[in-house]
């Protein structure tokens, strides 16, 4: 009974959410586009000519926004490169090159390297979040692991002067994540866009300038314990 009430309350809030309505009006696949839009307008992240990698890109709203910033005209080409990666399928976004698979695996990495053709990313975006178990310590560990992977990906595939933007949650090992960012990036900023719901602990971390480019932060990853 309580679960049904919770679902009804969520549905009511979702339907009446101004960002949901705006996303429908402007053709974005999710309201998350406006989180990136706010951060980008504040931090001046996305510029024509960049190589941008969108980790966990499905359903594609962040890629849609990045594409709009690199062009302006639907189907008219872009100044730059956008690569989306996800373990879930994503409907095509014009001018966005999508790779289906886990970016830790050999085949997706080969596809990524082929698209990059020796280049490094200017900007890495990660809106990834784990499947939640409801067990706080386990969920915090899963979230932290995803952020570790995003940092490691950036160290290997991003320019030393590049930027990494990741989603975090303040109730999921946030202080440890901030410390990791401070250890790996020259400047670190916490950002809570207005489009992020007030009742949510969601917050974004922006790291600029790698301290240790090309260095993996893990000797190895145990993938068997995670359901990402």
60 labelled binding-site residue: yes
Q: Dig out the tokens for 174 from the structure.
A: 């946030």
Does the annotation list 102 as a binding residue?
A: yes
Q: Does 5 qualify as catalytic in the annotation?
A: no
Spatial CA neighbour of 52 closest among 74, 36, 41, 38: 36
Beta bridge mates, 164:
124, 207
- Pair of tokens at residue 213: 């480019």
62 belongs to an annotated ligand binding site:
yes
Contacts of 4 (CB under 8 A, 6+ apart): none
Angle, helices 18-26 vs 33-43, to 10°: value is 90
Give the whole-angstrom CA distance, residue 111 versus residue 22. 34
d(CA 204, CA 193) in angstroms, rounded, equals: 8
Cα–Cα distance measured from residue 145 to residue 226, given in angstroms and rounded to the nearest whole number: 9
Q: Is 30 left (phi over 0), alpha (psi -120 to 50) or beta?
A: beta
CB of 183 within 8 A of CB of 151? Answer: no
Instruction: Say which of 35, 69, 159, 167 is annotated catalytic.
Output: 167
- Is 127 annotated to bind a ligand? Reply is yes
> Would you name the residues annotated as active-site residues?
167
Binding annotation for S-adenosyl-L-methionine: 60, 62, 86, 102, 127
């Amino acid at each position: 009974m309580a679960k049904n009430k919770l679902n009804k309350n969520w549905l009511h809030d979702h339907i009446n959410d101004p960002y949901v309505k705006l996303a429908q009006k402007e053709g974005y696949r999710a309201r998350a586009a406006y989180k990136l839009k706010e951060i980008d307008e504040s931090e001046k992240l996305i510029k024509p000519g960049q190589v941008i990698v969108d980790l966990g890109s499905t359903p594609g709203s962040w890629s849609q926004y990045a594409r709009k910033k690199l062009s302006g005209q639907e189907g008219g080409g872009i100044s730059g490169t956008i690569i989306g990666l996800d373990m879930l399928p994503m409907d095509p976004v014009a001018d966005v090159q999508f790779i289906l698979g886990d970016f830790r695996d050999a085949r997706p990495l080969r596809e990524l390297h082929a698209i990059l053709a020796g280049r490094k990313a200017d900007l890495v975006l990660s809106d990834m979040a784990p499947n939640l178990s409801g067990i706080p310590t386990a969920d915090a560990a899963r979230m932290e692991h995803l952020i570790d992977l995003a940092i490691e990906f950036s160290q290997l595939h991003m320019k030393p002067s590049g930027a990494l933007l990741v989603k975090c949650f303040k109730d999921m090992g946030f202080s440890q994540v901030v410390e990791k960012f401070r250890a790996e990036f020259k400047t670190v900023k916490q950002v809570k866009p207005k489009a992020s719901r007030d009742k949510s602990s969601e917050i974004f971390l922006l790291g600029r300038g790698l301290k240790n480019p090309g260095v993996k932060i893990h000797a190895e990853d145990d993938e068997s314990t995670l359901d990402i």
